Amino acid sequence: MKKLFSLLILATSVSYGYCQSVATISINNDNSKLTISRHIYGQFSEHLGHCIYGGFWVDPKLAVAKQDRIRLDIVDALKKIKIPNLRWPGGCFADEYHWRDGIGPRTQRPKMVNTNWGGIVEDNSFGTHEFLELCGLLKCEPYISANVGSGTVEEMSKWVEYLNFDGESPTTAIRKLNGHPAPFKVSFLGVGNESWGCGGSMTPQFYTDQFRRYATYARNYPGAPLKKIASGANSFDYNWTETFMKNASLGMVWGLTLHYYTIPTGSWGDKGSATNFSEQEYFATMKNCLKMEELVTKHGAIMDKYDPEKKVAMVVDEWGIWTNVEPGTNAGFLFQQNSLRDALIAGTTLNIFNNHCDRVKMANLAQSINVLQALILTDKEKMLLTPTYHVFDLYKVHQDAKYLPIKLNSPDYVEGNDKIPALNVSASIDSNKAIHISLVNLDANKSIRIRTELKDLKWSTISGQILTSNKLTDINTFENPGKLKIAGFSGAKREGNELVADLPAHSIVVLELK
Ligand code: AHR
């Protein structure tokens, strides 16, 4: 039986509340053979500031529940949102990390200077075994970024052997001595990070040749095939993608990365405050955030040229808002607060990835704890869930669900002489036939009425959840950690065959139709 339904959403232009505009959304279930990979909802943990130390990995004396030194309230919170993978150890840190320093008895591990992030001493107490223990607790897949910038082919090759080889060798003997006889069977392997910058300042052609060489010796051991992920472009550097796709031996490549950060002011100098910003700056931030759509489309078009069957994944393994650090904190630790604006960025970006799930198979928010657009902030034994965390909680329904293609005609959000689409949306249908539609109203002032004509769609109940707050600058604090949290959404109803919903200004709504 042919399963075809279409969904028309009309936001009328008649006066309603502050003002209404027109949007049309059509969803066609018939052509949707694609899955929204759960790995789009991946996270990133670097040896940077208090992401690892003071985040995941705490002082043995800290009065919180722990396994070894892994903080379990954080583990529980991340398990709740089903994080599918965790990238480690960097970032820029990865290209100065030497894995052999992070194994064996902790008291005997050499220390190093973390030159990228604050020049602090890294004691290597959190290494390969600790990271993989963390992933086991989180029930997520490890994604290890290996050192190309300052490491050798031999070093990467032996790390893979240490991780994945089930037989006898001098390297696996050391793993056994360190308490892990069985291979870890790691699958995701990053071959360098930002090789155009902190990962070695390489040209695209030089990196492509290096990738071919390093990837050759990152072996696929029996039962442990690797998904090798190449270091891709910085933002709008299309030449990097073109050169790599043209010259790499694509059979070796599982994925190619893209890094893009939303910087409120657009300047790497004064990036703007995380908590103190005007509506104009909010608008500019969202305009910058929406450039992800252009980036994914244009890098994707280049990839299509060399890989029309879309075998190579686009891996956006660093994304999020990057602001000035919180006043009084270490500039090298990249600690920033997280407001409703961050949540709107997360909802919008995840909608973009969902809608490009034919090519985007993996993404990693930067970063999970206490760094940049974090999910969780900690202060000694205290922790709080950020607005961004709540978006990942709302959107987890899309993980591994069948993608429903959407055509959207959005009303504009106008600021001065400029405008951006006010509404963005993505939709999926899960294995229980529940349909989820995630809608983000970016307009700072206007609600959007959605009137939806549903055709060939059988549904009888509708429910929803919402994340919003009075002000765009609202945040969760250790004193008031529940200021922004998910609430039930009663603004959607069925009228005849239509779905009608009123999306408040600056809100994220996820509807469930059953
Ligand atoms: O996420 C912070 C840094 O941003 C990463 O270490 C690096 O890859 C990027 O430049």
- One digit per residue, the tens of pLDDT, for the chain of length 514 reads 333 334 444 333 333 334 566 566 777 776 668 999 999 999 999 999 999 999 999 999 999 999 999 999 999 999 999 999 999 999 999 999 999 999 999 999 999 999 999 999 999 999 999 999 999 999 999 999 999 999 999 999 999 999 999 999 999 999 999 999 999 999 999 999 999 999 999 999 999 999 999 999 999 999 999 999 999 999 999 999 999 999 999 999 999 999 999 999 999 999 999 999 999 999 999 999 999 999 999 999 999 999 999 999 999 999 999 999 999 999 999 999 999 999 999 999 999 999 999 999 999 999 999 999 999 999 999 999 999 999 999 999 999 999 988 888 899 999 999 999 999 999 999 999 999 999 999 999 999 988 776 666 678 999 999 999 999 999 999 999 999 999 999 999 988 878 889 999 999 999 999 9
425 lines ligand 1 (CB under 6 A): no
Write down which residue in 370, 403, 436 finishes a domain: 403
- Which has the closest alpha carbon to 404: 1, 2, 33, 10? 33
Ligand 1 centroid–CA 79 distance in Å is 24
How far apart CA 121 and CA 14 sit, in angstroms, is 62
Catalytic residue among 318, 326, 495, 498: 318
Q: Verify that 207 and 263 share a domain, yes or no.
A: yes
Q: Verify that 205 and 239 share a domain, yes or no.
A: yes
The amino acid present at 441, given as its one-letter code, is N
350 lines ligand 1 (CB under 6 A): no
Ligand 1 centroid–CA 331 distance in Å is 14
The closest residue, in CA terms, to atom 6 on ligand 1 is 91
Ligand 1 centroid–CA 401 distance in Å is 30
**CATH code of the domain containing 377:** 3.20.20.80
Q: Verify that 489 and 465 share a domain, yes or no.
A: yes
How far apart CA 50 and CA 372 sit, in angstroms, is 11
Ligand 1 centroid–CA 373 distance in Å is 12
Catalytic residue among 46, 130, 161, 194: 194
Q: Verify that 383 and 352 share a domain, yes or no.
A: yes
- Which has the closest alpha carbon to 346: 390, 385, 314, 384? 390
Write down which residue in 369, 403, 437 finishes a domain: 403
Q: Verify that 136 and 261 share a domain, yes or no.
A: yes
The amino acid present at 33, given as its one-letter code, is K
Split into its structural domains, the chain has a count of 2
Query: Which structure tokens are listed for 469?
Result: 């707050």
pLDDT score recorded for residue 19: 55
Q: Verify that 147 and 286 share a domain, yes or no.
A: yes
Has residue 132 been placed in a domain? Answer: yes
Q: Verify that 395 and 280 share a domain, yes or no.
A: yes
| Per-residue pLDDT reduced to its tens digit, 139-157 | 999 999 999 999 999 999 9
Has residue 265 been placed in a domain? Answer: yes
Q: Verify that 101 and 208 share a domain, yes or no.
A: yes
Has residue 417 been placed in a domain? Answer: no
- pTM equals 0.95
Q: Do the Cβ atoms of 231 and 145 come closer than 8 Å?
A: no
What is the position in ligand 1's atom list of the atom closest to the CA of 367? 1
Ligand 1 centroid–CA 92 distance in Å is 6
Write down which residue in 371, 403, 435 finishes a domain: 403
Pocket test for ligand 1, best of 45, 87, 88, 92 (most atoms within 8 A of CB): 92
Has residue 163 been placed in a domain? Answer: yes
Q: Verify that 279 and 196 share a domain, yes or no.
A: yes
| Per-residue pLDDT reduced to its tens digit, 412-441 | 999 999 999 999 999 999 999 999 999 999
Q: Verify that 162 and 246 share a domain, yes or no.
A: yes
Pocket test for ligand 1, best of 194, 257, 271, 333 (most atoms within 8 A of CB): 194
The closest residue, in CA terms, to atom 3 on ligand 1 is 91
Domain region containing 356? 39-403
- Residue located via tokens 């490009």: 356
Ligand 1 centroid–CA 433 distance in Å is 39
pLDDT score recorded for residue 9: 40
pLDDT score recorded for residue 23: 67
Q: Verify that 179 and 201 share a domain, yes or no.
A: yes
**CATH code of the domain containing 464:** 2.60.40.1180
Give 54-106 as a 3 state SS string. Answer: CCCECCCCCCCCEECCEEHHHHHHHHHCCCCEEEECCCHHHHHCCHHHHCCCH
Ligand 1 centroid–CA 356 distance in Å is 24
What is the position in ligand 1's atom list of the atom closest to the CA of 46? 6
Ligand 1 centroid–CA 91 distance in Å is 5
Has residue 409 been placed in a domain? Answer: no
How far apart CA 155 and CA 161 sit, in angstroms, is 10
Has residue 415 been placed in a domain? Answer: no
Active site residue 161: no
pLDDT score recorded for residue 8: 40
Pocket test for ligand 1, best of 258, 317, 318, 323 (most atoms within 8 A of CB): 318
Has residue 320 been placed in a domain? Answer: yes
91 lines ligand 1 (CB under 6 A): yes
Q: Do the Cβ atoms of 465 and 510 come closer than 8 Å?
A: yes
Q: Verify that 197 and 180 share a domain, yes or no.
A: yes
Active site residue 318: yes
The closest residue, in CA terms, to atom 7 on ligand 1 is 91
Has residue 478 been placed in a domain? Answer: yes
What is the position in ligand 1's atom list of the atom closest to the CA of 334? 2
For residue 170, what is the DSSP state? H
What is the position in ligand 1's atom list of the atom closest to the CA of 94? 6
92 lines ligand 1 (CB under 6 A): yes
54 lines ligand 1 (CB under 6 A): no
Query: Which structure tokens are listed for 438?
Result: 């995630």
